[in-house]
Every structure is written in C-alpha cells, then in structure tokens.
A and B are shown apart, each in its own frame.
Chain A
C-alpha cells in the first residue's frame, strides 16, 4: 500500500474472534478496531468476560493452537499482517517483537527451571548466536532492571521462592529481555496488593520510557487505566462501545455503560458519596447476546429513541472519541451533565 500516512505501529481492523463450543458459538470479540503508536499506552477496560483477554491473545496469535477458534479481520504489527501470517512468522515475533505479561506469573513460569534459566532461554530463542555467558549476563541485568535485589543470587531461585510482587517483576524481566516493541499486560496487578501494584506500574512506566515500547494495559480497574493509558477502549459484550483519549474519556464519558462503571467506583479523590450508582443487572452471555444494543437490558435510557436500542446494533460514531449508542451526542452530553456527573 503506497499511502502517504504511515501505518501506526499496531493496527487492528475489524477483529472478530468466535469459539465453537458445545453450548453454542461464543462471540468473544465482534469487530474491534484500534491502533497504537510506539511509546504509547492503550488501556482496555471492561468487566470479566467482555473479551479483553481474547483480544490480546488474538494479537499474539495464540488462538491458532485452538481448533475451536475462528479469527477474522486484520492485525498489522509494524507493517506485517498477522491474521494471515504463517505459524512460523508469528512464532518468531512472539517473545521477540511482541510479548505479554499475565495476571498469574506462576502459570506463565515453569516450576522446574530456575527463574534465571527461563530468562536465558527466552533470550536465546531470539538470539541463537549468543553464548551462555552473555545470555546469563543479560538475564541478570534484566532482573536488576526490574528491581530484584541481589539479582545474581536470585537468578538461581525458582518462581515459587519469590513473593507475588517479585514473581511479577521476574515475568516482566522475561517479557522484556528481547526489547519487545509491543508489550501486552493482561491484568498484571490484579492479584497484587496496592503497594506492590504501585511498584509494578511504576516499573512498566519507567521501562516503557526507556525502551519506547507500545503497551496494551488490560484491566478492570479504571484507576489503573487513568494512571497509565494515553487512549482507552471500553469493551462490553465482546464489542468496543467507547474509545478515545484517556483525558477525554474520563472527563466526558459518553456511553451509559461507562457512566455505570464510573458510578460503581468509590473514589478516594472525592468526598464520600451517600450511595454508589452501579449498573443494574449483570453482564450478558456471549453465546446469546441481547438483540440490538447488547447493553439494553441494563441501560436506563434504552427506551428513549423508540425501539432502536432493542432492534439495531449501534455502530461507533467514529472520530477521536467514538461511542456506540443510539442517543445523539447532544442527548448524551445533557444526560451526563445533568444526571450522571453530579452523582460521581
């Protein structure tokens, strides 16, 4: 393609992921599009089961091994298309140009190999010519960079000998050993205490500044998103329902679901509210999504525009701050200012 504007570092177009299961087809991700520049952070938020992890696993090509998964759309990473790429091509990128950290480091690290050996292995896969000594130095250097005290001694420890926060650091060291240009962090701090979470977020921020990587931060915590993200995607029922620059999205949220998420959160930076204002009901099943707007059974404004919310799927408005809702921008702004914001 000979267009004048270069492609963003990561560009996902119309990504759809479905799983065939005994209970029916799970529409885990339906038509997500987003892009991310090097050095920037994209936050993906949503409740459990909204399709956050499936989105990120698709970028890493990890659904290829699942026979029941079907991925369509395009994923461009540094001008290479990944949905149609060969398994070898994707494998060469994983752990190299792109890598991932998970919520549960124990499941990502091998119990029978030392932490150091695993980092060395991760490095040598992508640097086959490098000898053991150099790889070992590199691993110790990475452990030191992520703040593990006495790294050359801890090199020989097993993952279970580390505390939760240290394990998360070690996994970050492993994920960053090949200077990835894209780092996907899937709820990396959800299982950690706030003090450790603060350390890990600080570390991700510092390392990003140092390496200039693009980061996708997946979380259900709007606070974590506000701390790190330049842009935010809000997912509901496998779809992106709102996306935009973080500051805009937090100051002028547009989608009734986003309002509900904000209303559900007690905030330390505000006076104590008498009452939280959560979304009613619970998230939908992705096998049997509600008709029209998937959020309509929980939306207080569903009946406003005739039957459309019940029959037609709203499409994203487009633009820098984009929303999938049948209400007009004026209507949403008015509701937010008059009914929602005063209760936040």
Chain B
C-alpha cells in the first residue's frame, strides 16, 4: 500500500570552494554528504536539524533544482538524478516547492494573478473555465479572496503571502510538495492556520509532503515520519511516535530536550533533564572523522572517531526506525549529569 514516491540513495551535494583567478578548487562544502531515505505516497516526511545541516540543499536536490554530486534520486521509478532541464520539464508538474520567505519568493512587480497562473502557462495546462477562474479557485482553496487577483504581493501580510506561495505550488496539482520552512517566518497564530491549511490540502488532493523545519514541535504535529539531519547526514529516521517517544541517537535526544516546554510548573524538571550541547556545529568543509556528532556527544568513545556508524535498525526498534550511532540511547537511560565536558576546538 505504501509505495515509494521518492527514493534517495547515497545522495551527495558538494559545493566547490575555489580560489584565485583560475578558480582552482581548494575544497568543498559537503552540504549533503550521503543520505538514504524514501518518501511514501500520501505521507508527510519531516526533515529537522540545526541551521546549516543541509535540509534546504536536500530539498533542492529532491526537486532537482540542484544536481547531485553523487548518488541517486528516483521519482516514481524514474531515475531523475541527472536529467536536463528539458527532460525535467514534464516532471515539474509533479514536484513543487514552497519556500520559507514569503517576502522574497514572490516577484514584487507581478500581480497575484500573474504569479499563480505562471506555472499553468509555462506548462501549457488547459483551463476550461479560463485562466482567471482557475486562479481564483486556487485563491479560494488557500483561504484568500478571489478579488485579490489583481493585487500585488506587498499588499499582503506574511501569512497571506505564504498562502499565495501555496496556491502557486498547487496550481499544477503536484504529487509531491517540498515545503522548506513554510511557517518559520510567521507569527504563531498564522503559523497554525497555515499548518491546518496544509493538512486540509493534503487530504483533499492526496498530496505527499517533505516538510523541512527546525521547529521540532511543528514537525511532530504534521509528520508521519521524521528524519533528523546533522552535518549533511541523516542521524535517525523513524515513525513520528517512535522517534519522539523513544529517540535513540544522542543528537536527537539533545535536540528534543532543548525545546522549551510551555508549562512553568515543569520548568525545573525540563531544565534538569536538558542535555546541553557545548560548542558549535563543526564546519561541513571538514566534518569530524567517524561519527560526525562525536565532537559534541556525551557518549562518544574511541571507536566513534574511527568508524562511521551506519544508519540501521538498533536494539529492538520497530521496522523503519533507523539510527546511525554505535551506542544508541536506551529507554530510561540516566539523563542527569549528561552535560558533556567542554570540548576544546
């Protein structure tokens, strides 16, 4: 029943760093450095991780806005890893992207009508009731008024602009939508409105989402499965409930414990249970050997510097719960005193 819409194996994107007049390559930013995952038809896969861990780059690879350095992207059984722009054109209908910044992702000189109808025109999609009616239907679908057709982006609030971006992405009735931080720039009440809208549209049109965000609470709310990224790699992936109830990777545990709990009564407990990570995320130009999390991990041992842990099922985890760690966290592992020693860099 759960067929794979998207399959990604060994996916890498290295951005070259060049120097001098002749652009000699002196290194590379390993933004995405070997990820394997699948996205099943009809599900929402959440992608979380700290700033710079490669979430957006992964999203841009999935939509083939970027071409991978290595690895494979298979969409509905077709290898699209290295398809040219022309070869990709028919597939553009099926895969769309929604961006974080509702301010910069809409052309300020175009009307809402022009912006939303552009994909229909580029793809030569027939609109039996006329282009304007098609756009106005889309506007209503995302909770905007059809009268907004002739207005410009600056006349709208952030939340409304995000709805415009969603209408544009929906115009071609895609199968897969990659939403890159679609609610991060919005106020909390507007954020919740957009989350509800995305959920409604998903059930109405059988959409599949990859939902990229750094907010773990929002990702938990909206996702069926969640992948946690760190420095260009997937550290852990599982069904939502497995991941949040039983995180195995020390990084996932630290990330979750850092989320502030909106309950002042539990403040002291939340603080006591918190795993404070020290130091910063290392540079993706030169990631640590072995396990990339080891410079900030309180469980690291010698082997962690030598051998990279594979992303596999650990302990007695259910199918599909995969963790890249030699020493996965067990339930009820003592949390107190988990503050790692300061690591000198």
Contact = CB atoms under 8 A, between A and B. Distances in A.
B193 to A, nearest CB: 5
Given A149-B342, A226-B261, A193 B188 contact: no
Contacts of B216: 194, 268
B217 A266 contact: yes
B1 interface: no
A246 B261 CA distance: 13
Contacts of A48: 187
A197 B258 contact: yes
B19 interface: no
Most chain B CB within 10 A, of A201, A224, A268, is at: A268
Interface string A255-285: 0000011111111110011011111101100
A197 to B, nearest CB: 7
Interface in B257-285: 257-267, 270-271, 274, 276-280
Contact of B191 (A201, A229, A264, A280): A264
A229 B280 contact: no
B189 A194 contact: no
A251 B260 CA distance: 16
A276 B192 contact: yes
Contacts of B256: 268
B342 A282 contact: no
A123 to B, nearest CB: 26
B338 interface: no
B123 interface: no
B189 A250 contact: no
A220 B188 contact: yes
Interface size class of A (residues with CB under 8 A): 35 or more
Nearest to B280: A163
Contact of A260 (B189, B195, B240, B241): B189
A223 B266 CA distance: 11
Contacts of B159: 282
Given A47-B187, A149-B345, A193-B214, A278 B260 contact: no
Given A276-B192, A276-B196, A266 B255 contact: no
B264 A198 contact: no
Contacts of B264: 226-227, 229, 246-247, 250
Highest count of chain A CB atoms <10 Å: which of B216, B241, B279, B345 = B279
Contact of B187 (A196, A220, A272): A220
B260 A226 contact: yes
B172 to A, nearest CB: 27
B149 interface: no
Contact of A164 (B51, B257, B267): B51
A323 B69 CA distance: 58
Interface in B218-268: 218, 220-221, 240-241, 244, 254-267
A331 interface: no
Contacts of B344: 149
B12 to A, nearest CB: 23
B102 to A, nearest CB: 13
Interface string A224-261: 11110100000000000000001100110000000011
B258 A198 contact: yes
B67 interface: no
A215 to B, nearest CB: 15
A226 B262 contact: yes
**8 tightest Cβ-Cβ pairs between the two chains A and B:** A223-B260, A278-B192, A266-B221, A264-B192, A198-B258, A276-B192, A47-B187, A193-B50
Given A149-B279, A250-B264, A262-B262, 7 more contacts: A198-B274, A202-B276, A220-B188, A250-B263, A266-B218, A272-B241, A278-B193
28 contacts: A47-B188, A193-B50, A193-B51, A194-B214, A197-B260, A198-B274, A223-B259, A225-B262, A227-B260, A227-B267, A227-B270, A246-B264, A247-B264, A250-B263, A261-B189, A263-B192, A266-B217, A267-B262, A268-B259, A269-B261, A272-B220, A272-B221, A272-B240, A272-B241, A276-B192, A276-B195, A276-B221, A282-B190
Interface of A: 47-48, 149, 163-166, 193-199, 201-202, 220-227, 229, 246-247, 250-251, 260-269, 272-273, 275-280, 282-283
